[in-house]
Amino acid sequence: MAAEMVNPRSDNASDSGEGADGVTDGEPFDPAFALHRGGKMAVQATVPVRDRDDLSLAYTPGVAKVCSAIAEQPELVHDYTWKSQVVAVVTDGSAVLGLGDIGPEASLPVMEGKAILFKQFGGVDAVPIALDCRDVDEIVETVVRLAPSFGGVNLEDISAPRCFEIERKLQERVDIPIFHDDQHGTAVVTLAALRNAAKLTDRALGQLRAVISGAGAAGVAIARILTEAGIGDVAVCDRKGVVSTDREDLTEVKRELAGFTNKAGLTGSLEAAMDGADVFIGVSGGTVPEEAVAKMAPGAFIFAMANPNPEIHPEVAHQHAAVVATGRSDFPNQINNVLAFPGIFAGALQVRASRITEGMKLAAAEALASVVADELSADKVIPSPFDERVAPAVTAAVAAAARAEGVARR
């Protein structure tokens, strides 16, 4: 028999058997359902419509003047609509958090959550869009047709390797930023934390050898940004071991990955690659044996970011590492994407950037690291998501980098 699902609370308590205390059919009150009741966001007007005069300006006939002006000068859309301050949060529900392929409807609570984080931490409006299709080209065509309404697109919870192709094809078709947060947001925050861990221990990135467990969206993006930032070496491992050029079972993405990583020419298992490594970065799940952790270099850094169960539990990691980070909020040094994506999009939208470049991501990581650069400790190599300095610092750095790289339009 299938397990009984917990039912969300009904609008009509008398019809649902629900009491005022939130108990439904004998089940204890669940604050998660209470918070999500009716959704977590709504549209709010920024201008009043109090009388006939207001109505004639906000809608017809006044709106026709603005429409005509935009038709003659399309760039005016940024000045007279919300386009330059709104992002589409797009998913197909194929790789949602740790839940996997749960479909578009079930992904909506996460997309709403992402939208309110955009607003809370970056002052950016966002609209959740869950698409009922899995074909790469269909998703691309759909988003291309939606693009005129938005200043940017945040791709979210789309499974690898499709996510790489979708992002690439979209950026070729539209002139607004396309950003897959599962890849690049994670990579930016990881680099920021690693920069500060190295600074704390008087080392440079170029002196470090890193091992990444996981060759999906996050693992590939982290490897790329660490390489761009000048890491000494980085090896990426999938379920079959080190992603290396001598393997014949690699996808196109992994073949490209093997081409710019693993300078040492390592082969074999994750555990073997960790022998003598300075950095472990986990974005895969599973459990790494403590014997492998113990063989890492002295003063190692362990960023075990699987949720809810890190690949290496902090209690184990602290016995062998100088700095430990996870993806969880109940341990120090949380590698949380919310530290990156609101400010990155805010900066890109501020200058009407046509894309988000590698230079803009590197600038975001450097700015994020600088927020706590004078406050470093083993338990503080990355700011808290609630540090009010984060979004302004990242926004300013990204906007400046966009101008420097010639992708800003104002």
Residue 28: what pLDDT?
75
> Is 22 inside a domain boundary?
no
pLDDT at site 27: 64
Examine the pLDDT at 10 and tell me if it is beyond 90: no
In the chain, how many domains are there?
A: 2
Q: Using CA atoms, how far apart are residues 407 and 354, in angstroms rounded to an integer?
A: 6
Strands of 86-91's sheet, edge to edge? 125-130, 86-91, 152-155, 178-180
Once rounded to an integer, what is the mean pLDDT over residues 293-311? 95
How confident is the model over 128-137, as a mean pLDDT? 96
Q: What percent of the chain has pLDDT over 90?
A: 89
List the one residue out of 347, 271, 269 whose CA is nearest residue 312.
Answer: 271
Tell me, what's the pLDDT at 29?
A: 81
pLDDT for position 114: 96
Ligand-binding annotation for 307, yes or no, is yes
Identify whether the C-beta of residue 19 lies closer than 8 Å to the C-beta of residue 26: no
The arithmetic mean of pLDDT across residues 144-173, rounded, is 96
Our answer to whether residue 65 is catalytic in this structure is no
Same domain, 94 and 221: no
21 is in an annotated binding site: no
CATH number of the structural domain spanning residue 384: 3.40.50.720
Q: Say what the pLDDT of residue 20 is.
A: 40
For the stretch 160-200, pLDDT in tens is 899 999 999 999 999 999 999 999 999 999 999 999 999 99
At which of 120, 152, 176 does a domain end? Answer: 176
- pLDDT value for 111: 96
User: Is residue 231 located within the same domain as residue 355?
Assistant: yes
Asked whether 128 and 112 are in contact (CB, 8 A), the reply is yes
**Domain span holding position 348:** 181-410
What is the predicted pLDDT for the residue at 25?
Answer: 56
Considering the domain architecture, whether residues 148 and 186 belong to the same structural domain is answered as: no
Q: Are residues 315 and 368 in the same domain?
A: yes
* 199 and 167 in a common domain: no
295 is catalytic: no
Report whether pLDDT(15) > 60: no
Of 45, 119, 114, the closest CA to residue 346 belongs to 119
Catalytic residue among 83, 114, 169, 361: 114
Q: Tell me the C-alpha to C-alpha distance, in Å, between residue 218 and each of 116, 221, 287.
A: 22, 5, 18
| 156 is an annotated ligand-binding site residue | yes
Do both 145 and 170 map to the same domain?
Answer: yes
Q: How far, rounded to the nearest angstrom, does the alpha carbon of residue 173 sit from its chain's CA centroid?
A: 22
Q: What token pair was written down for 390?
A: 């984060």
Chain-centre distance for alpha carbon 116 = 14
Q: How far is residue 381 from each of residues 182, 183, 216, 223, 370, measured CA to CA in Å?
A: 21, 21, 25, 20, 10
Please give the Cα distance from 284 to 219 (Å, whole number).
Answer: 8
The pLDDT of residue 308: 86
If asked whether residues 126 and 195 sit together in one domain, one would say no
pLDDT (0 to 100) of residue 3: 36
Determine the pLDDT at residue 99.
Answer: 85
d(CA 34, CA 338): 23
CA 55, 61, 62, 63 dihedral sign is positive
Helix axes 181-200, 217-229, angle to 10 degrees: 40
Mean of pLDDT values over 335-362 = 97
pLDDT at 247 over 90: yes
Cα 188 to Cα 382: distance, rounded to the nearest angstrom: 11
Please report the pLDDT score of residue 48 as a whole number.
94
Residues 382 and 259 reside in one and the same domain = yes
231 and 358 in a common domain: yes
CATH number, domain of 120, equals 3.40.50.10380
Residue 5 has pLDDT above 50, yes or no: no
CA distances from 147 to 60, 90, 352 (A): 25, 11, 14
pLDDT grade, residue 98 (50/70/90)? confident
pLDDT at 9 over 70: no
Over residues 95-124, the mean pLDDT reads 94
Among 149, 176, 203, identify where a domain stops.
176
Is 223 within the bounds of a domain?
yes
Predicted pLDDT of residue 97: 83
The stretches of 17-103 forming alpha helices (DSSP H) are: 31-36, 52-58, 62-72, 77-80
Residue with the larger pLDDT of the pair 370 and 14: 370
Residue 75 in any domain: the answer is no
For residue range 18-60, what is the model confidence (pLDDT) as tens digits? 444 444 555 678 898 999 999 998 888 999 999 999 999 999 9
Residue 48 located in a structural domain: no
Position 389: which residue type? R
pTM above 0.85, yes or no: yes
CB 172 within 8 A of CB 143: no
Note the pLDDT of residue 43: 87
Domain contains 300: yes
Q: Is 336 labelled a binding residue?
A: yes
Mean pLDDT for all residues in the chain: 92
On whether both 348 and 333 belong to a single domain, the answer is yes
**What's the number of CA atoms in the CB half-sphere (13 Å) around residue 338?**
20
**Do 295 and 160 sit in the same domain of this protein?**
no
pLDDT at 14 over 90: no
CA distance 393 to 369: 10
**pLDDT tens-place string over residues 378-399:** 999 999 999 999 999 999 999 9
Q: Identify residue 42 by its one-letter amino acid code.
A: A
Residue found under tokens 């970056």: 122
Return d(Cα 139, Cα 122) in angstroms, integer: 27
- Same domain membership, residue 351 and residue 219: yes
**What pLDDT shows up at residue 22?**
47
Is residue 35 situated within a structural domain?
no
Q: Is 182 annotated as a binding residue?
A: yes
Question: Given 126, 150, 176, which residue is the final one in a domain?
Answer: 176
